[in-house]
Amino acid sequence: MGIVKDFRYQNLRRISRQRFFYSYLGATNLRGMTIYIRSRLSPDQTMKQARRTVRQIDPSIPVFDMRTIDETIDRTLTTERLVTSLSTLFGA
């Protein structure tokens, strides 16, 4: 468990409401989990190691939709980049 000053949970443009995070061990109806990993390994190596570790803990836990923070930010900014490209095209 940890404390952070602020963060962007679902959207880079909006400030999120206050949130409380607790250990998944205390959850009674856990439907999913997001885990952030900081590593000095390459993203591919980190993802392989994370999958391996989860399988060792419980092979029945599905691990999916793994991506880097850069990929997540790129997905979030797709609309802004499209508008910028169109504005540049029309401006030219």
33 lies in some domain = yes
51 in Cβ contact with 63 (< 8 Å): yes
pLDDT band of residue 53 (cuts 50, 70, 90) is very high
| Residue 17 forms part of a structural domain | no
Residue 10 in domain: no
State pTM to two decimals: 0.56
Given pLDDT bands bounded at 50, 70 and 90, which one contains residue 6? low
What average pLDDT does range 22-39 have in this prediction? 76
Domain residue limits at 43:
24-91
Give, to the nearest 10 degrees, the angle between helix 69-76 and helix 78-91.
50
Give the type of residue at 14. Answer: R
SS3 call for 66: coil
Provide the pLDDT confidence category of residue 19 given band limits of 50, 70 and 90. low
The pLDDT assigned to 14 comes to: 65
71 occurs within a structural domain: yes
19 part of a folded domain: no
Nearest of 36, 33, 21 to residue 67 by alpha carbon: 36
Please count the structural domains in the chain: 1
Does 5 fall in a domain? no
Distances from the Cα of 70 to the Cα of 3, 30, 31, 67, angstroms: 23, 27, 25, 8
